[in-house]
């Protein structure tokens, strides 16, 4: 479904990604792991076209999207939840969802209801400004916003970062449910236990290279533990 080949990216002269390859099959949940600063966010931003690729290709459903703009990739079914959620703090929950609906090609209001079905806790908060939500609620809103675009694949950057443990479980369950509906997911996640429970496959990044790739069960490997240890 998503195929990344030889992807390179840089900030000015500082190269961050060095020929990253990875593939996410239909309905698969792929977890990208690695310590802080190894290039996980840069990888997702390059996959989404927020950052241009210096070399390599990104293919989505067999189509080369490397030169497409971010909104065009979203239109093809790549839903993105950036690190730090990226919701609009001054807008209400309802407005945050509405803005995405208006920007999306399909503009089918049912998409908002479907997104709220996935996160029913947002329903009583629809009139509240996003800036007044808890971290966990903001993260749920961020994922709901991506769902409004009717994605075929969801790309999530550390959705549990800085969130209290009781809510982490709720977000994990939401991701699991979405995966259960057949949605392909590319997830950056630092919690090993969560990755172990959710992932089908994983890659580990180190210094902008994929240093290890495997099935979720391999994450129990001692060698893998050392690659992730801080
Ligand atoms: N906007 C930016 N400008 C310059 N360097 C950046 C920028 N964003 C990230 N970097 C650098 O790129 C490297 C990878 O960062 P990032 O992709 O955010 O890592 P991760 O998500 O794995 O923590 C780090 O060395 C970071 O300092
Ligand atoms: Mg990051």
**Tens-place pLDDT, residues 59-96:** 999 999 999 999 999 999 999 999 987 899 999 999 99
Ligand 1: list residues with CB < 6 Å. 11, 14, 16, 34, 36-42
pLDDT tens digits along 4-30: 999 999 999 999 999 999 999 999 999
pLDDT in tens, 33-64: 999 999 999 999 999 999 999 999 999 999 99
CA of 35, nearest ligand number? 1
Give the model's pLDDT for residue 217: 80
Maximum Cα–Cα distance across the chain: 49
pLDDT at 223: 73
What pLDDT, in 10s, does the model give residues 96-149?
Answer: 999 999 988 778 899 999 999 999 999 999 999 999 999 999 999 999 999 999
Predicted pLDDT at 230: 60
* Dihedral sign of CA atoms 114, 153, 82, 34 in order: positive
Domains within the chain, CATH numbers bracketed: 2-86+155-228 (3.40.50.300)
Q: Are 171 and 144 in contact (CB under 8 A)?
A: no
Kindly state the average pLDDT of the residues 165-176.
89
- Give the model confidence (pLDDT) of 99-110 as tens digits: 999 988 778 899
Closest CA to 169 of 199, 196, 136: 136
The CA 158 to ligand 1 mean position distance, Å, reads 14
Query: Would you tell me how many other CB atoms lie within 10 Å of the CB of residue 69?
Result: 12
For residue 205, which ligand has an atom nearest its CA?
1
Q: Whose CA is nearest to atom 16 of ligand 1?
A: 39
Greater confidence (229 vs 19) lies with 19
């Amino acid at each position: 479904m998503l195929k990344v080949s030889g992807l390179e990216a840089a900030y000015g002269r500082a190269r961050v990604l060095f020929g990253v390859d990875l593939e996410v099959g239909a309905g698969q949940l792929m977890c990208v792991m690695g310590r802080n600063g190894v290039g996980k966010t840069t990888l997702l931003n390059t996959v989404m076209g927020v950052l241009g690729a210096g070399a390599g290709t990104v293919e989505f459903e067999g189509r080369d999207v490397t030169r497409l703009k971010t909104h065009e990739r979203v239109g093809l079914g790549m839903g993105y939840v950036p690190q730090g959620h990226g919701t609009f703090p001054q807008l209400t929950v309802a407005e945050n969802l509405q803005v995405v609906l208006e920007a999306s090609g399909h503009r089918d209001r049912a998409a908002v209801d479907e997104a709220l079905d996935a996160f029913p806790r947002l329903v009583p908060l629809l009139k509240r400004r996003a800036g007044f939500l808890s971290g966990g609620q903001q993260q749920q809103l961020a994922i709901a916003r991506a769902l409004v675009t009717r994605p075929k694949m969801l790309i999530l950057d550390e959705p549990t970062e800085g969130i209290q443990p009781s809510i982490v479980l709720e977000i994990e369950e939401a991701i699991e449910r979405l995966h259960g509906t057949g949605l392909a997911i590319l997830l950056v996640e630092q919690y090993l236990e969560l990755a172990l429970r959710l992932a089908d496959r994983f890659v580990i990044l180190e210094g902008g290279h994929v240093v290890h790739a495997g099935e979720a069960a391999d994450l129990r490997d001692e060698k893998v533990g050392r690659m992730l240890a801080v």
